Amino acid sequence: MASKSPISTTHLTKPHSIGNTPLELQRMVYENSLELEPGLQAPTFLLVLATVPELFTEAKSIFKKINFVLTLWNSATFQALPQKELRSIRHLTIIWDTLQSVMLLPPSANPRHRALIMASIEASLETLTLDLRKENPFRYPMRCHIWINVLKSFISSAQGGIRKITVVFDVTTSTGHEETKLIQTFFIMFGIISNHRDSMKVSGLQVRVWEGDGRELLEKANNFTLAMLP
């Protein structure tokens, strides 16, 4: 599994300086600095590197390898990726909408979900982002339970690799009640409180981030049951 040790990105303001480092080190920096931002925004580092064409090509290639955005429409593509490509994926974003509720049902109800989980086992996932801007499952109890089971499945499949979970809402449609329920559910599941990305509100996003030790998140997720919710 890929190393979880972040590499300093103090070079962000001087992108040309990275061109003087060995190629292998450049790639290590890119692999640890190019996580897709909430709302499907390109990372700042990639935008900075876009001003240096001789570096941008390699950086963009690595950015595409380590990030994957999973939707209903490309789930078959994700399942069919060669093992080498799956193992390059570190950051998985799941875009949730009404139709995807069917796709992401727990394994006992949907063979397609089993295939997705088998594919994610091969990936070296470190972060999981759930984009709920189109459909907020916390408005509906049954959908909320499905969503929680999906989250547990992906955390389990990563076998302790996932160290950060991000949830993205549309700030114009989410309510305080839904956000409170989200925070409460995650606290019961993981025993940790999220960081609130207030700065993202200017772009219409409500972002919550949970970070911790991957093994601890895995253990707590595996021990969690829906009966523990109030």
Q: Is 143 left (phi over 0), alpha (psi -120 to 50) or beta?
A: alpha
Kindly indicate the confidence band of residue 67, based on its pLDDT and cuts at 50, 70 and 90. Answer: very high
What percent of the chain shows pLDDT beyond 90? 20
Kindly indicate the confidence band of residue 62, based on its pLDDT and cuts at 50, 70 and 90. Answer: very high
pLDDT (tens digit, 9 = 90+) per residue, 121-145? 666 889 999 888 877 666 666 667 7
C-alpha 143/C-alpha 62 separation (Å) is 35
C-alpha 95/C-alpha 208 separation (Å) is 15
C-alpha 166/C-alpha 206 separation (Å) is 10
Mean pLDDT of 180-196: 78
Other C-beta atoms closer than 10 Å to the C-beta of 15 total 17
The bridge status of strand 195-196 relative to strand 205-211 is antiparallel
pLDDT (tens digit, 9 = 90+) per residue, 206-224? 888 888 889 988 898 888 8
Mean pLDDT of 106-122: 60
The bridge status of strand 195-196 relative to strand 127-131 is unpaired
- The mean predicted confidence, pLDDT, of the chain is 78
**Sole residue written with tokens 């759930």:** 130
The domains of the chain, with CATH numbers, are: 9-66 (no CATH), 71-228 (3.40.50)
What is each CA distance from 123 to 32, 47, 92, 116, in whole angstroms? 16, 26, 9, 11
Return phi, psi of residue 173, to 5°.
Answer: -120, -20
pTM exceeding 0.85: no
The reported pLDDT for the residue numbered 134 is 78
Q: How many residues does the chain have?
A: 230
- Cα atoms in the Cβ-side hemisphere of radius 13 Å centred on 2: 24
Kindly indicate the confidence band of residue 11, based on its pLDDT and cuts at 50, 70 and 90. Answer: very low
